[in-house]
């Protein structure tokens, strides 16, 4: 299966929902935008050509500063596996709590 940015964004949307995190990275206010602290998002970089790389980040400040979950840029397939690992961990933690 081809892993697309749209597919990854849907998974991150589900992750934010299941963790009770803000659904969007930014909220519009009278004077501009403010970062939604705790929102998890994908940082997508395309340096040129057909090469795309990704990082999973979390908004940490109202100014939009982020914390990187992943230590390096990944392919879409690698990031998909990383996110699946998070869901597996959440599932295991949920089972252990019951």
69 pLDDT more than 80: yes
CB 8 within 8 A of CB 82: no
- The neighbour count for residue 57, using CB atoms within 10 Å, is 19
The pTM assigned to this predicted structure is 0.88
Task: List pLDDT tens digits, range 75-92.
Answer: 999 999 999 999 999 999
CA triple 13-18-24, angle to 5 deg: 35
Task: List pLDDT tens digits, range 13-63.
Answer: 999 999 999 999 999 999 999 999 999 999 999 887 788 999 999 999 999
Task: State how far the Cα of 16 lies from the Cα of 38, in Å rounded to an integer.
Answer: 9
- How does DSSP classify residue 66? E
80, two tokens: 């998909």
pLDDT at 43: 94
**Torsion angles phi and psi, residue 88, rounded to 5:** -65, -45
């Amino acid at each position: 299966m081809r892993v697309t940015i749209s597919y990854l964004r849907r998974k991150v949307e589900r992750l934010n929902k299941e963790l009770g995190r803000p659904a969007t990275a930014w909220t519009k206010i009278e004077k501009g935008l403010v970062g939604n602290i705790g929102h998890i998002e994908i940082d997508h970089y395309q340096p040129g050509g057909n090469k795309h790389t990704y990082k999973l980040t979390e908004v940490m400040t109202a100014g939009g500063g982020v914390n990187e979950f992943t230590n390096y840029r990944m392919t879409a397939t690698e990031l998909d596996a990383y996110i699946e690992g998070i869901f597996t961990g959440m599932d295991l933690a949920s089972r252990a709590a019951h």
